[in-house]
Structure 1
Amino acid sequence: MGTGRELLERLVSDQSQSLFKQIHWQGTFHEYLEIVKENPKVARTAFQRLYDMMMSYGRYDLENSKENLIRYRFFDDPDHEGHDAIFGLTKPLMELVNVLKSAALQYGAERRVILLHGPVGSSKSTIARLLKQGLERYTKSDEGALYSFGWKQDDASILWDPMHGEPLQLIPNSAREEVCAFLNQGRDSVGEGEYQVEIKGDVCPLSRFLFQERLAKHDGDWMKVLDDIVVRRLIFSEQDRIGIGTFQPKDEKNQDSTELTGDINYRKIAEYGSESDPRAFNFDGEFNIANRGLIEFIEVLKLDVAFLYDLLGASQEHKIKPKKFAQTDIDTVIVGHTNEPEYRKLQSNEFMEALRDRTIKIDVPYVTKLSEEIRIYEKDYNNERVRGKHIAPHTLETAAMWAVLTRLEQPKNASLTLLQKLKLYNGKSLPGFTSDNVLQLRRESRKEGLHGISPRYVQDKISNALVVNATATSLNPFMVLNELEAGLQHHSLIDSEDTRMQYIELIAVVKEEYTDTVKNEVQRAIAADEDAMDRLCANYIDNIKAYTQKERVKNKFTGADEEPDERLMRSIEERIGIPETRVDDFRREIMNYIGALALDGKKFNYRTNERLQKALEMKLFEDQKDSIKLTSLVSNVIDADTQEKIDIVKARLIRNNGYNEESATDVLQYVASIFARGDVKKEEK
């Protein structure tokens, strides 16, 4: 392993010195002009840079999507660590990317506040965090490079522009058109992700003051002023307050708009003699430091009115008004987020009309697809991360199922249950429903996902269940569901007793669905005798062949020719709901399928027919469950032969379904108790 010092030396040696020099590059203004001519992307606007950053990760079309849905890899897991991946929400994320694209192309969206609107815990903050972290990483890459400038001082130090301004803004207005023409030579037409250089806006008041001061010193020769400029590579950092700003409203009495636009430095007033001297001002408000990057407003609609005026100017005019100074140009993406109650206040407040008019609202609902909700919990609770505790199969699935059910609206189709709607949304096929029907269901339920239970509540209760059941080696669904139900008595966001009772009833629905699921798993484990399945299938095929061809079947034991065994055939077909009136059609379908395979030189295998396989498994289970005496588990009186068979079933559950010893035993005992009560339900579908 070596010593600690050797480890540190190796880690240091792994870091490229050339990379360090590259991202800490400094040079002259003239060198920067050559960089821009070679790569105009360094002079992009904040929206262009953010959009290109997201596109750099790539995108892909979602399979089996009739809505032409596109998924952007940036939201999947940009750090490849699984901490901030956003599961689902494909349409809201598409809408966000389209807004950013419009802003990048300067179609008007660049003059709007992007407002992420949705219930608590719906990933609004996560989206904003991903954008900020993505920009930080992007500015460290060659593709995301950008530059700022500073002023050489008499003591050989450099006074960096406090708002990280674009160096090209130092070029006087009279010369900008000609400079842009030079920089854009050979780029008359540009494609997506390519931009012509435009010089907009002016430098901050401090750099403007220093420019004028040195212009006077050099008798109006602004070329000599530019010789005093040092250009450097700029790397965004939220922690260092460079290019990334975050503002969170405080108590109304303590709010001060200078937190956004900077404040007077009273210590330096004595040195410079005036409050309006830019050298006696701290340009360190959130808007100042977020120039050329992104600023996030947490709970933006809770802002004091004084803040809102700054917000309006920053979005529409791209200007802010620091105290004692003229309006100052900024270039930043403004992302705010809020919840439904605050947004309703905005809609009902006529004084907020200007803000509503300058806002692009993007709804960020809860996930309504079960598989995506499961992934949210698997990220934090899985058998690799939860050390010392086994997460039994279906534990996270049942919690996710309940959460999604609370977010769905009752279907208008009376023949469709809420649980069936959940399954349709999750991609399952149901008789009489097509993918077009699913789209119609979603169109009828515009508010789905904007209410219901937050993933945070479920995560909290999973954590509680892990602690409360500390002595158990395995966490099972009932432990979590019981915690979820108990917590509803004190849930602060449930506004009515009717809603509380509805959520409790949905827990009962989930428990019933889980019961059916584990009953089927145990049935498959018991019926997992491959030889017995093959024999049963061969016997069934022999009989339906004889039946469809009006022949007799030879009894393998007596050698006598007998009529097809109708009782055997029906005992299998009834398991999958084949009515008496469809017997002939179903048997002919099977024989036609076998014949088609034979013509292609292929052999029939029951595993290729899901319905037939299920019917055979259920039939074999019915035949074998009495010999295994599963119900003896309830009485704890088990003979050696039965114990051996139960151990085989348990081993199959562990090997094939992900159980451990304790959870497999629990499931077997639970299913055994169902059989002991005589509560065996026939397969519904």
Structure 2
Amino acid sequence: MNTAKQYLSMDKQPQLWRGDFASYLELILEHKQFARSAHALLYDAILDKGIALSADDEPPVYGAFRDEIFGIDDPIAQLMSALHAGAEGLDIRRRIILLMGPPGSAKSTIATRMKRLLEEYTQTPKGAVYAIADCPMHEDPLHLLPQSARKQLHQDTGILVEGELCPVCRYRLEQAEGAWSSISTIPVEQIVFSEQRKVGIAAFAPSDPNSQDISDLVGGVDIVALQQYGVESHPLAWRFDGTLNIANRGIAELIELLKSKAELQFSLLTLAQERQIKAPRFELISADEVLLAHTNEEEYRRFVSDQKNEALQSRTYIIKVPYNLKWSAEEQIYSKMMGNRLDTHIAPWTLKAAAGWALLSRYEKLEKYSPELKLKLYDGQFEGEFRPAHLREVKELSPRDGMFGVSPRQVVNALSQAIAASPHNCLTPTDALKALRESLDHHTGAESKEKRDQLLGAVGAIRAEYDRYAKQTVSRAFIAAFESSAQDILIRYLDSAEASMREDKLRDPITGEWVDPDEKLMRSLEDLIGVSEGSKKSFREELLVRVGAMARHGKEFRWDSHPRLKEAIEQRLFADLQGTIRTTLSSKVPDEEQRRKLDSVKRRLQEQDGYCPHCASAMLDYVGYLLEKGN
């Protein structure tokens, strides 16, 4: 454990560079990357966390977002493409990047993550940012160079200097007092971005239209200083503390931009296109910042339908941010949102059940692909005849998937209420599905009978998936006591498959007679895992190759060595053992042998599958109920 001294030392601020402009210029000539733009800085901050290239045509996965945002790699890739273009000085840096999607689709999470990345990166040596000391807009010191020097610098180094001094720095230079009497001695300091300290990062949110004005964006008159300097147009009588002033050199988050007053929206036009801020009574003020806005689809549609907004529309770069569509990623979202704040055990498959229900509400209806099939295809579960090409077709046929449906927030609300009501300090899949069904009375968007019926149908579809999982899980726990039977099925299958490939017979181990391969056994197992008649030969060949490869390395091929065949054997054994399992689970007063089996199964569920005593018992009771019903 750390000592008090060690904890206190963690709050030490990094040693920041400070010098004069001449020293800074020497630094820039040696390290040209420090003269980068705001877009380049943000792009580098994200890349600094690493990037993993994906296979096929999947977008890359950026380390900066990997543990924070799940299942929306396409919008992230589009955002990175825009930042890259801006970093290269292309015209997209003169656009407002607008994240548009349904509520709860991670738009603000993306913005928040990017702000935190800038704060972290500017504390590192490679992310260092330098500014004219005490400038209210933390502006680029290279603005001090005259045009002739800028031109020569660009020719010699490729560094392009754009922008002019802010009113405060120009006033100080014109006064030429102290260190400002020569540009070489003007103080320059390293800065660290901080949203809390209003350095390089700022956020703007719409508020009461009657009280919000342009000063929220570009600053306003300093009443105390006005008494000293006499006129509002004096640089030192103005507070350069608006969102756009603070965000210079970094990023401005424009929250629900399209809900703000029109005059405030139009004040962004000059900044987006000309990269300049217009404050009342002042000339245009240079600014270099990433403008990142977000809004929902309904607001966006109203925005584009109004011809008065054409100028702002032309300066906006839209990135659609839909809800996540991948089952495993949705489960990760809920795991992150639930966190470790609640001292409650969450049974296996509980978050998966909730995730599946939410996803079924986000898919467009297609004749060829049911929502249940889409659920698996989006998650990369290509079973039977389905391949990645089918997923590509799904995306082409239903481009609005994810732009509507249940928000993760609504799901977490229902799960939180179920946890609060649980007397067992444990949340099970059946608890979760019950809570989601009951939440429809409080669910925005479920007012119509059609929508309510769809969401109720989704509960039934996920329950059917859970029923299969529950029976398979319990069967695996029981099968542990019947491993010899599982291995016997495997040997019979492999013997028949090998003889079938050779178009030969095999000797019956009991009678000693030469008999045909047991095609009925092989097809019964292959059908269970979706191996079609046409693909059975390739499946058997692949299996026998693996058996041979393991044998060459001195390894035994067992019944559970091949995931798909293991699943088939489990299902076959479960069918054979259903009577035994049903009797064991449904017995009101189990005998000693049945109690031993139940205790063994519960122990296996807890030790190997992550169940607690309560949810292990609940799982067995539920599967017993299913078997009694004949499901």
TM, length-normalised to structure 2: 0.91
Aligned residue number for residue 314 of structure 1: 271
User: Which whole-Å deviations, capped at 9, do the CAs of 1:167-223 have from their partners, x for residues lacking one?
Assistant: 121223344323x15xx64x4xxxxxxxx3222111111211221222xx79xxx98
The counterpart of 1:485, out of the listed 422, 426, 437, is 437
Aligned residues: CA RMSD: 3.0
Contact 1:542 1:553 survives alignment (8 Å): no
Contact 2:472 2:570 survives alignment (8 Å): no
Aligned residue number for residue 530 of structure 1: 483
The DSSP-based 3-state class of the residue aligned with 1:116 is strand
Aligned residue number for residue 625 of structure 2: 673
Aligned residue number for residue 192 of structure 1: none
User: Which whole-Å deviations, capped at 9, do the CAs of 1:27-57 have from their partners, x for residues lacking one?
Assistant: 1111111111111222221112111212222
Structure 1 residue 585, shift from structure 2 partner: 10
Aligned residue number for residue 391 of structure 1: 346
Task: Return the letter of the residue paired with 2:59.
Answer: L
- State whether structure 2 residue 111 is matched by structure 1 residue 147: no
Contact 2:14 2:123 survives alignment (8 Å): no
Structure 1 residue 538, shift from structure 2 partner: 3.5
Aligned residue number for residue 460 of structure 1: 413
Aligned residue number for residue 446 of structure 1: 399
Contact 1:571 1:619 survives alignment (8 Å): no
Task: Return the letter of the residue paired with 1:119.
Answer: P
Task: Return the letter of the residue paired with 2:233.
Answer: S
User: Which whole-Å deviations, capped at 9, do the CAs of 1:120-155 have from their partners, x for residues lacking one?
Assistant: 0001001111111111111111111121123xxxxx
The DSSP-based 3-state class of the residue aligned with 2:560 is helix
The DSSP-based 3-state class of the residue aligned with 1:148 is strand
Aligned residue number for residue 198 of structure 1: 160
Aligned residue number for residue 304 of structure 2: 347
Aligned residue number for residue 366 of structure 2: 411
The counterpart of 1:30, out of the listed 14, 22, 28, is 22
Contact 1:118 1:365 survives alignment (8 Å): yes
User: Which whole-Å deviations, capped at 9, do the CAs of 1:318-360 have from their partners, x for residues lacking one?
Assistant: 1111121111111111100000110011111110001110000
State the distance in 2 between where 1:503 and 1:655 align: 35
Q: For 1:625-640, what aligned pairs fall within 5 Å after superposition?
A: 625-628=578-581, 630-640=582-592
The DSSP-based 3-state class of the residue aligned with 1:407 is coil
State the distance in 2 between where 1:584 and 1:250 align: 64
Contact 1:543 1:553 survives alignment (8 Å): no
- State whether structure 2 residue 44 is matched by structure 1 residue 52: yes
Structure 1 residue 596, shift from structure 2 partner: 8.8
Aligned residue number for residue 262 of structure 1: 219
Q: 1:262 to 1:14 in 2, by over 3 A?
A: closer
Contact 1:405 1:419 survives alignment (8 Å): yes
Contact 2:202 2:253 survives alignment (8 Å): yes
State the distance in 1 between where 2:149 and 2:551 align: 80
Contact 2:45 2:118 survives alignment (8 Å): yes
Aligned residue number for residue 333 of structure 1: 290
Contact 2:526 2:536 survives alignment (8 Å): no
Structure 1 residue 8, shift from structure 2 partner: 3.2
- State whether structure 2 residue 318 is matched by structure 1 residue 361: yes
Structure 1 residue 252, shift from structure 2 partner: 1.0
Task: Return the letter of the residue paired with 1:120.
Answer: P
Aligned residue number for residue 509 of structure 1: 461
Aligned residue number for residue 175 of structure 2: 213
State the distance in 1 between where 2:534 and 2:81 align: 55
User: Which whole-Å deviations, capped at 9, do the CAs of 1:643-663 have from their partners, x for residues lacking one?
Assistant: 111222222222332222211
Q: 1:259 to 1:451 in 2, by over 3 A?
A: same
State the distance in 2 between where 1:583 and 1:321 align: 72
**Identity %, equivalent residues:** 34
Contact 2:525 2:565 survives alignment (8 Å): no
Q: 1:552 to 1:86 in 2, by over 3 A?
A: closer
State the distance in 1 between where 2:534 and 2:167 align: 88
Mark the structure with the bigger radius of gyration.
1
Contact 1:119 1:339 survives alignment (8 Å): yes
Aligned residue number for residue 659 of structure 1: 611
Task: Return the letter of the residue paired with 1:430.
Answer: E
State the distance in 1 between where 2:568 and 2:398 align: 36
- State whether structure 2 residue 71 is matched by structure 1 residue 98: no
State the distance in 2 between where 1:671 and 1:241 align: 58
Aligned residue number for residue 239 of structure 2: 282
- State whether structure 2 residue 292 is matched by structure 1 residue 292: no
State the distance in 2 between where 1:626 and 1:569 align: 26
User: Which whole-Å deviations, capped at 9, do the CAs of 1:93-115 have from their partners, x for residues lacking one?
Assistant: 11101111111111100110000
Which deviates further from its counterpart, 605-614 or 257-266?
605-614
Aligned residue number for residue 146 of structure 2: 172
The DSSP-based 3-state class of the residue aligned with 1:20 is coil
Task: Return the letter of the residue paired with 2:62.
Answer: Y
Task: Return the letter of the residue paired with 2:121.
Answer: Y
State the distance in 2 between where 1:388 and 1:264 align: 51
The counterpart of 1:39, out of the listed 14, 19, 31, is 31
Q: For 1:539-554, what aligned pairs fall within 5 Å after superposition?
A: 539=492, 549-550=504-505, 553-554=508-509
Which runs of 5 or more residues in structure 2 are unaligned? none
State the distance in 2 between where 1:273 and 1:440 align: 68
Structure 1 residue 627, shift from structure 2 partner: 3.8
- State whether structure 2 residue 9 is matched by structure 1 residue 10: no
Aligned length in residues? 623
Task: Return the letter of the residue paired with 1:32.
Answer: Y
State the distance in 2 between where 1:305 and 1:124 align: 22
The DSSP-based 3-state class of the residue aligned with 2:127 is coil
- State whether structure 2 residue 527 is matched by structure 1 residue 577: yes
Which deviates further from its counterpart, 255-264 or 595-604?
595-604
State the distance in 1 between where 2:283 and 2:545 align: 86
Structure 1 residue 572, shift from structure 2 partner: 6.9
State the distance in 1 between where 2:542 and 2:19 align: 79
Task: Return the letter of the residue paired with 1:75.
Answer: F
Contact 2:445 2:451 survives alignment (8 Å): no
The DSSP-based 3-state class of the residue aligned with 1:132 is helix
Structure 1 residue 505, shift from structure 2 partner: 0.9
Q: 1:614 to 1:50 in 2, by over 3 A?
A: closer
Aligned residue number for residue 607 of structure 1: 560
The DSSP-based 3-state class of the residue aligned with 2:292 is strand
Task: Return the letter of the residue paired with 2:589.
Answer: V
Q: 1:476 to 1:202 in 2, by over 3 A?
A: same
State the distance in 1 between where 2:508 and 2:485 align: 20
Structure 1 residue 544, shift from structure 2 partner: 7.4
Structure 1 residue 460, shift from structure 2 partner: 1.3
Structure 1 residue 637, shift from structure 2 partner: 1.9
Task: Return the letter of the residue paired with 1:10.
Answer: Q
The DSSP-based 3-state class of the residue aligned with 1:427 is coil
Task: Return the letter of the residue paired with 2:425.
Answer: T
- State whether structure 2 residue 64 is matched by structure 1 residue 74: yes
Aligned residue number for residue 14 of structure 2: 20
Structure 1 residue 226, shift from structure 2 partner: 2.1
Task: Return the letter of the residue paired with 2:170.
Answer: R
State the distance in 1 between where 2:545 and 2:214 align: 80
State the distance in 1 between where 2:363 and 2:357 align: 10
Q: 1:625 to 1:322 in 2, by over 3 A?
A: same
State the distance in 2 between where 1:102 and 1:591 align: 49
Q: 1:258 to 1:527 in 2, by over 3 A?
A: same
State the distance in 2 between where 1:265 and 1:103 align: 35
- State whether structure 2 residue 327 is matched by structure 1 residue 370: yes
Structure 1 residue 378, shift from structure 2 partner: 1.9
State the distance in 1 between where 2:227 and 2:180 align: 33
Contact 2:28 2:35 survives alignment (8 Å): yes
Which deviates further from its counterpart, 313-322 or 371-380?
371-380
Which runs of 5 or more residues in structure 1 are unaligned? 78-84, 151-159, 188-195, 680-685
The counterpart of 2:102, out of the listed 119, 127, 138, is 119
Q: 1:497 to 1:620 in 2, by over 3 A?
A: closer
User: Which whole-Å deviations, capped at 9, do the CAs of 1:533-588 have from their partners, x for residues lacking one?
Assistant: 22343455567778964465242xxxx5468599x974674354389xx9999699
Task: Return the letter of the residue paired with 1:279.
Answer: L
